[in-house]
Structure 1
Amino acid sequence: MRQQGFRLWKVSLNPVPEQRREFPYAVDDVKWAREHGYGSAIQQRAEQLRTEDPNRRYFEGLPSVRRAAAKAALHGRDRKGGPSVTLPGG
């Protein structure tokens, strides 16, 4: 990114580890529930971290042309001849 003229900050891949716990039907872990309730505080913390993410703020602050260039620098440009799939609907 630096070579392309952009900035990028290192951020944790798992900033809210408690959020990784999944309860598909209902919270069935009494210890976890006593500590986190239904998990709304965890969701609020995750949203706060997304809002404060320096990369997100940086990219959103770029003009649209620069943002497109930053996206291409980060993810690479579309390449013809790469993998493709045909969806069932065509």
Structure 2
Amino acid sequence: MAPDPKTHRALACLLQDIRNEPPAGANLQVLDDWSHRRVSTAALDAKIPAERINGRWYYRQADRQRIAEILGVLPKPRIGRPVRRAVPSNEAAAAA
């Protein structure tokens, strides 16, 4: 089964794809810490969503945002309830 080029991209192109079309809010300096071998190892260890088709690794275009979060290019979304912060006393006095 051959990968569909409309939905899949070669994992070897992942770092270059992120550099060429960075997601909004991306920190591209983090990519300097990643090599093709490290990305391939992450795919092999199932740390990033990737598929092996006919002996080559591919990632889905739809997973690009999630992969950028895993690589550290984008901040990971916060999960859970928002933290309530106490209002400092000087602001509380000014509001009253």
* TM-score, length of structure 1 as denominator length: 0.22
Structure ranking higher in strand proportion: 2
Structure with the higher helix share, 1 or 2: 1
TM-score (norm 2): 0.22
